[in-house]
Amino acid sequence: MSDYKIRAYQDSDYKVVRELFSAGMSEYVPSICIHVLKQPWVLFVLTCMFICLLASSKSLILPVLAVTLVLALGRQLLGYFWEMYLDHCLKEDLQDISKTYMHSNGSCFWVAEADESVIGTVAAKPSDEKEDELILKRMSVRKDFRGLGIAKALSREVIRFARKGGYRSVTLNTLMVQHEAKRMYESVGFKKYIEFILPTVYGKLINFTISKYRFDLLNAE
């Protein structure tokens, strides 16, 4: 196992931090596609389309081709929307990481480093809604360094920072497809306290569910 250390973000980490974030989040496109495919209305539409084309053409080729084309287009469309979301994040807090996290009160950005390379990231910033709440964001670990406890160590760094800053809790959001992340946070002591569907037309359409987790510093030993 490689040794790693956790340290504060430096400007020279900028490019690799943004790449790690994009790579980590891009991994979810296939599982989001499967999630969308499992929605009853999607299955219904695809089945109806298949049956109608089969009945009208009396051949399997046309319905199979049409369903394949719709699936491929859907995959492209989802990928495009996901890219837009990633782009939004990269232009938001990850545009100027130093300013957002290192020069703002109550915020910080850490990286995990191994073999002189950045292999993990995490950020923390105070909640806009609750004064005594710290938000954990931008957790990502490079694929070839997963399963070594690096994300747990990064989470604990945020918890230590929150304790030192006098916060009562650390909270974070996960998506319905982030099963490994959910398990990792639960093993550190985070508890799910709310789950909701993104309140937008697209969110409702594809059942885009967000689970919020909280680490309660007051009740932690």
Ligand X SMILES: CC(C)(COP(=O)(O)OP(=O)(O)OC[C@H]1O[C@@H](n2cnc3c(N)ncnc32)[C@H](O)[C@@H]1OP(=O)(O)O)[C@@H](O)C(=O)NCCC(=O)NCCS
- Which residues contact ligand X by CB under 6 A? 24, 27, 139-141, 146-152, 174, 178, 180-181, 183-184, 187
Residue type, 205: L
CB of 86 to ligand X, least distance (A): 12
DSSP 3-state of 10: coil
Four-CA torsion 75, 36, 59, 51, nearest 10 degrees: -150
DSSP 3-state of 139: strand
CB of 4 to ligand X, least distance (A): 10
CB of 62 to ligand X, least distance (A): 40
Q: Report the Cα 212 to chain-centroid distance in Å.
A: 12
Residue 20 or 206: the one with the smaller Cβ distance to ligand X is 20
How far is the C-alpha of 74 from the C-alpha of 33, rounded, in Å? 8
The number of C-alpha atoms within 13 Å of 98 and in the hemisphere containing its C-beta is 6
